[in-house]
Amino acid sequence: MGGKAIIFSAPSGSGKTTLVHHLLGIPELNLAFSVSATSRPRRGAEKDGHDYHFISPQEFVERVKKGDFIEWEEVYRDQYYGTLRSEIERFWSQGKNVIFDVDVVGGLNLKKHFGANALAIFVQPPSIETLRFRLRNRSTETDEKIAMRLDKAQKEMAYAPRFDLVIVNDILQDALDQAAMKVREFLSS
Ligand code: ADP
Ligand code: 5GP
């Protein structure tokens, strides 16, 4: 069981990272995390090479020109994020499935790129108010950055129907169970 792509997309604060970490902890799913490159600063306990490859905006632009990315986006102003071709090739050559945590546009681009080998999941927060509460509670962004993320979230919600599956992340345990069940089903199909 390997060579497939599991894509998680959602507005920031919906719970993608929480769901992805849960799935990575289930050995039978044989998942490896696609570490994206970003030009945003490191936050909290994030580690370079583990959460992201943190690179400068200049290096990011150079690597775009070299064709290093399968997809990339300026997700927020002056903050670039991209999926590295080398990450996916390395994991697939090891017989692993790759799991992605990307924004909604990136998610749809990856779905197009991988075709039937991909399951694209949209994680939906119960409401924008809940999203605001979770982002404040997470305490990793300034009020200004939270406002920017919430503004973008309103637009991103409209993309949900274009994904293979929508998981509403209200009661966390239910969302974790549903994600594990759907991913298991897809990988064994
Ligand atoms: P994302 O990766 O989509 O930005 P996170 O996984 O970082 O989102 O989740 C945002 C915050 O909300 C985190 O502090 C996380 O612990 C919390 N969280 C995630 N899911 C739930 C849930 N179902 N109920 C309450 N809090 C949640
Ligand atoms: P954060 O700054 O909260 O880590 O991420 C901000 C947004 O960028 C999230 O929606 C996250 O999923 C997205 N993101 C992370 N890596 C990539 C990537 O490689 N490509 C795209 N398109 N988005 C990404």
Confidence (pLDDT) at 2: 64
Ligand nearest to the CA of 141: 2
- Boundaries of domain holding 136: 5-188
Are 103 and 13 contacting, i.e. CB atoms less than 8 angstroms apart? no
- Of 45, 9, 22, 24, which is closest to residue 138 (Cα–Cα)? 45
Counting atoms of ligand 1 from 1, which one is nearest the CA of 171? 23
Ligand nearest to the CA of 113: 2
Confidence (pLDDT) at 75: 86
Confidence (pLDDT) at 1: 54
Counting atoms of ligand 1 from 1, which one is nearest the CA of 101? 2
Give the Cα separation of 59 and 62 in Å (integer): 5
Report residue 38 as tokens: 């970003």
**Smallest CA separation from ligand 2 atom 5, residue:** 12
Ranges of residues in the chain whose predicted pLDDT is under 50: none
CA–centroid distance, residue 77 to ligand 1 (Å): 23
Confidence (pLDDT) at 44: 87
Per-chain mean pLDDT for the chain: 94
CA–centroid distance, residue 118 to ligand 2 (Å): 18
Confidence (pLDDT) at 141: 87
- Of 97, 119, 135, which is closest to residue 167 (Cα–Cα)? 119
**Smallest CA separation from ligand 1 atom 25, residue:** 172
Q: Could you tell me if the CB of 30 is within 6 A of ligand 1?
A: no
pLDDT in tens, 75-129: 888 899 999 999 999 999 999 999 999 999 999 999 999 999 999 999 999 999 9
Give me the DSSP letters along 16-80: HHHHHHHHHT-GGG-EEE--EEE-SPP-TT--BTTTEEE--HHHHHHHHHHT-EEEEEEEETTEE
CA–centroid distance, residue 7 to ligand 1 (Å): 17
List the 97-102 sheet strands across, edge first.
Answer: 31-33, 97-102, 5-9, 118-124, 165-168
The CATH number linked to 34 is: 3.40.50.300
Ligand nearest to the CA of 111: 2
Give the Cα separation of 35 and 29 in Å (integer): 18
Counting atoms of ligand 2 from 1, which one is nearest the CA of 9? 12
How many separate domains does the chain show? 1
Instruction: Classify residue 83 by its DSSP letter.
Output: E
- Of 19, 4, 3, which is closest to residue 166 (Cα–Cα)? 19
